[in-house]
Amino acid sequence: MSRPQTSGASATAQARPRLRGRPTTARCSPYGAPASLLLHGLGVAALLFAFQTNLDMAETNIVPVELIIAEQTNVAAAAPPPAQEETFERPPLEALPPPPVPDIAEPAPVEAKPPEFKVTPQRETPPRKDINALLNQLTTPDRNAPRTAPRATEAVGASNMATASLADALRSQIRNCWSPMTGAPNPNDQVVTFSLRLNRDGSVGGLEVLTYTNNAYGAAAVEAASRAIYSCQPYRLPLDRYSQWQEFRPLRFDPRQMVQ
């Protein structure tokens, strides 16, 4: 009785390494636990973690700096007006003594504020659209598709495609847009994970940071990855498999191999 269970577990692990190998915060050994217990446990743990992470992010990372976004016009900022977050009044910069270097004159140190951090910049709910309109939109050449080539759509489409190829399809599109900032003293600081929800038209429906390092390098890494995610949309993925690709989680950006 125990043998088939064990082999079943390892077969699952081989077939879906990403699903099991890299939950964002929970770490589980791929070895040996009875399959059913492991998967149940994982499922519940992942749900709980997701729940917890959401709470954390909401509390700590949304900094109300933004002047409200006005897409249409140059409306005066509705929020705290000239938000000069930081004002450095320098002491008089009267020239220092004599030449030879008059221009070493001396501004006071500039206080640096840790970067504010905004994640989930666009968390609107997906626009409600008539399904026919959506289908039309997806079958006509994409109006505002930027540079992304439609290779994913061409390459896939068979209904028996494994989730791994959906992951590959997304990865092959995002990597072209991703220009990570490399070179942190601790390269682990630049690894970030997201949950990315996509609308049926391949646009970003929601983006949430799951894990990142809370320092300037981590903040820069989150922003570089967010820029990639937003600037690469819409993603070209097979519509008949939308139920599978409506959420990518964890979507992990790891530039460590690129550094060396």
For the segment 19-38, give every residue that binds another protein (CB under 8 A).
19, 21-23
Q: Is the dihedral of CA 159, 163, 164, 168 positive or negative?
A: positive
Choosing from 5, 11, 18, 26, the residue that interacts with another protein (CB under 8 A) is 18
Give which of 255, 211, 203, 193 is closest to 231, Cα–Cα: 203
Sorted by sequence, the CB contacts under 8 Å of residue 171 that are 6+ apart come out as: none
- Confirm or reject binding of residue 15 to another protein (CB under 8 A): no
Of 117, 118, 122, 119, give the one whose Cα is nearest residue 198: 122
Q: Which stretch binds another protein (CB under 8 A): 4-12, 103-111, 129-137, 153-161?
A: 103-111
* Closest among 158, 187, 192, 188 to 174, alpha carbons compared: 192
Instruction: Report the residue number, 7 or 55, with the smaller CB distance to another protein.
Output: 55
Binding to another protein by residue 110, rule CB under 8 A?
yes
Distance between CA atoms of 257 and 187, rounded to whole angstroms?
Answer: 10
Stretch that binds another protein, among 3-11, 30-38, 127-135, 238-246 (CB under 8 A): 238-246
| Contact yes or no for 201/97 (Cβ under 8 A) | no
Phi, psi of 221 (to 5 degrees): -65, -40
Range 191-210, binding another protein (CB under 8 A):
195, 197
Residues 28-87 that bind another protein (CB under 8 A): 40, 43-44, 47-48, 50-51, 65-77, 81-87
Residues 120 and 62: beta-carbon distance below 8 Å:
yes
Can you tell me which of 202, 218, 234, 238 binds another protein, judged by CB under 8 A? 218
With binding defined as CB under 8 A, does residue 187 bind another protein? no
Calpha distance 173→233 (Å, rounded):
9
Q: Give me the least distance between CB of 101 and another protein, in Å please.
A: 5
| Shortest distance, position 138 Cβ to another protein, whole Å | 18
- Ranges within 127-166 binding another protein (CB under 8 A): 163, 166
We find the least distance from the C-beta atom of residue 167 to another protein, in angstroms, to be 5
